[in-house]
Structure 1
Amino acid sequence: MRISALLVSLGLLSASPLLAQVPTPAPAQTRPLLLLGATLHVGNGTVIPDAAVAFDKGRLTYAGAQAGFTPDKAAYEVVDVKGQQIYPGLILPNTTLGLTEVEAIRATVDEAEVGAMNPNVRALIAYNTDSDILPTVRTNGVLLAQATPRGGVVSGQSSIVQLDAWNWQDAVVKADDGLHLNWPPLILKLNPAEDAAALEKREKARQSQLRDLEQLLAEASAYRSQPAGRRENLRLSAMAGLFDGSKTLFLHADYGKEIIEGVRFARRLGVQKVTVVGARDAWMMLDFLKQNDVAVVLSRVHALPRRAGDDYDQPYKLPGMLQAAGIRYCLDYEGGMETAGSRNLAFIAGTAAGYGLTKEQALTAVTLSPARILGIDKDYGSLEAGKSATLVVSTGDLLDMRTNNVTRAFIDGRAFSLDNKQTYLRDKFKGKYGQK
């Protein structure tokens, strides 16, 4: 009886629809493909109606007006997408996507390491390509992400990945692109009951963190001049790129004084490239950011103002203020349910488009701008001949949650499945209740 019950159970499991699982990664493109008739949003602000987009072996061979496409169409697999919209694949910076599955279950969270100073930690090797969340994010047009560690003062190194792969080795687009530093927050007396001694104790702890951080960076700078053949120090060698510009220091800070203090600290110690992450007070220091050529990865656009005296729409209009000031910036999704909610990146941009940005500027903030800040714009971020064929096709406006409807998506020319666990459950219960 037990064996029979077991066999029945196994039979039921084997009959479960494959759509409930993570779809198999798509194979490499084998035949040239031509998309005809859609409106093309290049990603750099250009919009081309009645466009043609052709790609072969994962690279774009043409992206422009259909009237200007001269090759023989018979050589291509032609897909009619008339009336639809073509966009570059969205790029999500500063995310724990692939590092966290269920935030309430500790065993599925691999985003932080023990200790305060972990420059040698690599988020890439913890990136889980079998995450159930990845397909749900792709469905809304997010095709690349910067897997970013959390925790401590120096969290570790992020890497940029594409979201349809067998393993992290296949997924990597740019390994160890930068180091993430959580700037020690200013000590503020927020509790009236806190006495002077307790406040001083917290300030001393902060100053100790800053001294440790300065020592670490100074040692890393000096380590570069050590002779070849020395025994490698993984903590220090991981930071070497900060001083020659091959890696970016991602400075996580929100308050204005923290941003100024952190940027000046990094510059003083010889760090070449600094990008501020979070930066909710960036509107207070536009001149400082511009003068120091500091890029911004802006978080929490969908949030309440930080202070009672701020404008009610301050978070919404901050991208427009950065745009008007000529500051390099892009948008991320960081907030409640950070990992699962990252599929809403397009709608973050859509909100910004209603508060100071044009639709194309908002699109650039989640495509070409993050590609430039992350150093992958040679291949990604816009749809131009020679670049990667990483794009999405939608029947409506990708940035509007009412019309966003991705019908096709490609990563490096590979057409992958848009099915995911949520679409499976949707279809399952539509059938149960007789809905079409």
Structure 2
Amino acid sequence: MKKNFLAISLLSVAGLFSTATLASDIVPAEQQKQAILIQNATIHTAANGVIENGDMLFDNGRIVEIGQDLTSNSAQIIDLTGKHVYPGLIALSTSLGLVEVNAVKESVDNREVGFVNPQLSPAVAYNADSEIIPTVRRNGVTYAQVIPSGNGIAGQSIVVNLDSWNVDDALVKTGLEMNLYWPSIRWASSNPKIYKQQLDNQNKQIKEVYQAFEDGYRYFLASKAGDDVEGNKALASMLPLFEGKGQLYVHANKQKQIEQAIAIARKYKFKLVIVGGYDAWRVATSINEIGAKVIYTNVFGLPQRNDDPVDQAFKVPSLLKQAGVPFALAIKADWNTRNLPFAAGQTVSHGLSKEEALKAITADAADILNLKDIGSLQKGYKASFVITQGDLLDQAEGKVEQLYIDGRKVDLNNRHNQLYQKYLKR
């Protein structure tokens, strides 16, 4: 019987690792019990610019008011003179909670065998106690989109808040998010015979993708017509895509791959998000025509063509901005997700403004996920934010001092900090 990554519990490896290795001992924060008014901060709203000497009142996990000279008779007052307040960062396209130690296969639970697995969801495998999560949180990340890895139609993704007891506590409600890794040749052989075999295999996989969606479409039509369709979990899981209630995330970088993804989206009227997107700016017109979006994951990447400028990967976000393509930034990783604010900061020296860079990891990321109450600081939104000393996007200056998720003050301790303190005493 094949091993289903979504049916595996991390308890199965308890005999191989100590409890300390498997689970973080950081206790999730309690629900907010009293209204809090922060005053005199530089508030980066990611929606309505920057408020100097700004105040923000929040209660029951929501922002009640934001502006200047706010008052409250019942709220706890926190003076943040000289500090900065940012929306909590949103990490897209991560494997957080699915991967603990890459070199130890028993702690890697992020993929399934097979080429067409639309029914799979990381929710069953997500480990809210991962030691990696507190280290990522320490740099201001409050929410994450957790995706499966693999080939072909790899399954669905989930969105979680990064301070929770378990997956049920962590889940943030979104529509269906289906992930398709577009078939590609990773390393093209210089041997003509082997290269032909690679091309043949790639074309075969592309046909499988088209056939899977055609099967899903026929199932949709039969279901819509009220026919007594045979229960097929894989095909049934595709229904929200055809009903317009979900999004198809196509992981692709090259122009031809992106054009093929656009062709599928046109045919079935899918809502499309390109993940990777190195060449997305080259087909900006087509992307805009169908209302697609891009999650750009190559901010720290290298040129993907021999004749590309050495800084081509760094400039793509500004090229997307100039072309009017809606996009967000991401680092496709687990522990390395903690570098998300610095990836955004790097784009500032390659064409984006600081406000645009911040929005690309907050408000614009929330927009791609169709989440309307996170990603920016404004009235009615969740009180998920970061308090820093200095510029959050600057690795040399930004120092996160406090972090709140849904109005709850999160413990910023983590394994890295614990080891640092330990060896200071050596």
Shift of 1:229: 6.9
Q: Which amino acid aligns with 1:306?
A: Q
Q: Give the Cα–Cα distance (whole angstroms) in 2 for the partners of residues 264 and 256 of structure 1.
A: 12
Indicate the residue corresponding to 2:179 in structure 1: 180
Q: Give the Cα–Cα distance (whole angstroms) in 1 for the partners of residues 65 and 299 of structure 2.
A: 35
CA 167–21 in structure 1, closer or farther in 2 if over 3 Å, else same:
closer
Give 3-state SS (helix, strand or coil) of 2:192's partner: coil
Q: Give the Cα–Cα distance (whole angstroms) in 2 for the partners of residues 295 and 305 of structure 1.
A: 22
CA 285–229 in structure 1, closer or farther in 2 if over 3 Å, else same:
closer
Indicate the residue corresponding to 1:10 in structure 2: none
Shift of 1:245: 1.8
Shift of 1:91: 0.3
Between structure 1 and structure 2, the one with the greater Rg is: 1
Q: Give the Cα–Cα distance (whole angstroms) in 1 for the partners of residues 422 and 177 of structure 2.
A: 43
**1:361 paired residue among 356, 364, 368:** 356
Q: Give the Cα–Cα distance (whole angstroms) in 2 for the partners of residues 187 and 165 of structure 1.
A: 37
Q: How does 1:7-406 map to 2 (within 5 A)?
A: 21-44=24-47, 46-64=49-67, 66-67=68-69, 69=70, 71=71, 73-174=72-173, 177-185=176-184, 190-195=188-193, 198-224=194-220, 225-226=222-223, 227=226, 231-268=230-267, 270-334=268-332, 338-376=333-371, 378-406=372-400
Q: Give the Cα–Cα distance (whole angstroms) in 1 for the partners of residues 84 and 228 of structure 2.
A: 55
Q: Give the Cα–Cα distance (whole angstroms) in 2 for the partners of residues 40 and 115 of structure 1.
A: 48
Q: Give the Cα–Cα distance (whole angstroms) in 2 for the partners of residues 231 and 168 of structure 1.
A: 31
> Are the equivalent residues in 2 in contact too, given 1:22–1:421 (CA < 8 A)?
no
CA 200–166 in structure 1, closer or farther in 2 if over 3 Å, else same:
same
CA 228–22 in structure 1, closer or farther in 2 if over 3 Å, else same:
farther
Q: What percentage of aligned pairs have identical amino acids?
A: 36
Q: Which amino acid aligns with 1:55?
A: F
Q: Give the Cα–Cα distance (whole angstroms) in 2 for the partners of residues 380 and 229 of structure 1.
A: 41
Q: Which amino acid aligns with 1:23?
A: I
Give 3-state SS (helix, strand or coil) of 2:258's partner: helix
Q: Give the Cα–Cα distance (whole angstroms) in 2 for the partners of residues 342 and 62 of structure 1.
A: 31
Shift of 1:45: 5.4
Indicate the residue corresponding to 2:6 in structure 1: none
Q: Give the Cα–Cα distance (whole angstroms) in 1 for the partners of residues 27 and 227 of structure 2.
A: 44
> Are the equivalent residues in 2 in contact too, given 1:119–1:155 (CA < 8 A)?
yes
TM-score (norm 2): 0.91
Shift of 1:425: 1.3
Q: Which amino acid aligns with 2:51?
A: I
Deviation digits for residues 248-302 of structure 1, max 9, x if unmatched? 100111111111112112321x142001000111232222322332200001211
> Are the equivalent residues in 2 in contact too, given 1:302–1:348 (CA < 8 A)?
yes
Give the alignment's Cα RMSD to 1 decimal. Answer: 2.0
Greater than 6 Å deviation, 4+ residue runs: none
Q: Give the Cα–Cα distance (whole angstroms) in 1 for the partners of residues 351 and 377 of structure 2.
A: 24
Deviation digits for residues 323-357 of structure 1, max 9, x if unmatched? 121110000002xxx21111000000000011101
Deviation digits for residues 376-408 of structure 1, max 9, x if unmatched? 1x1101000001001110011000111121111
Shift of 1:205: 2.5
Shift of 1:204: 3.0
Q: Which amino acid aligns with 1:276?
A: I
CA 288–231 in structure 1, closer or farther in 2 if over 3 Å, else same:
closer
Q: Which amino acid aligns with 1:213?
A: V
Q: Give the Cα–Cα distance (whole angstroms) in 2 for the partners of residues 187 and 39 of structure 1.
A: 46
Give 3-state SS (helix, strand or coil) of 1:87's partner: strand
Shift of 1:430: 2.2
Q: Give the Cα–Cα distance (whole angstroms) in 1 for the partners of residues 80 and 130 of structure 2.
A: 30
Q: Which amino acid aligns with 2:338?
A: R
> Are the equivalent residues in 2 in contact too, given 1:45–1:360 (CA < 8 A)?
no
Indicate the residue corresponding to 2:10 in structure 1: none
Q: Give the Cα–Cα distance (whole angstroms) in 2 for the partners of residues 27 and 255 of structure 1.
A: 46
Q: Give the Cα–Cα distance (whole angstroms) in 1 for the partners of residues 80 and 34 of structure 2.
A: 18
Indicate the residue corresponding to 1:3 in structure 2: none
TM-score (norm 1): 0.89
> Are the equivalent residues in 2 in contact too, given 1:159–1:176 (CA < 8 A)?
no
Q: How many residues align?
A: 404
> Are the equivalent residues in 1 in contact too, given 2:88–2:142 (CA < 8 A)?
yes
Q: Which amino acid aligns with 1:308?
A: N
Q: Give the Cα–Cα distance (whole angstroms) in 1 for the partners of residues 151 and 315 of structure 2.
A: 31
Q: Give the Cα–Cα distance (whole angstroms) in 2 for the partners of residues 102 and 384 of structure 1.
A: 38
> Are the equivalent residues in 2 in contact too, given 1:158–1:176 (CA < 8 A)?
no
Indicate the residue corresponding to 1:5 in structure 2: none
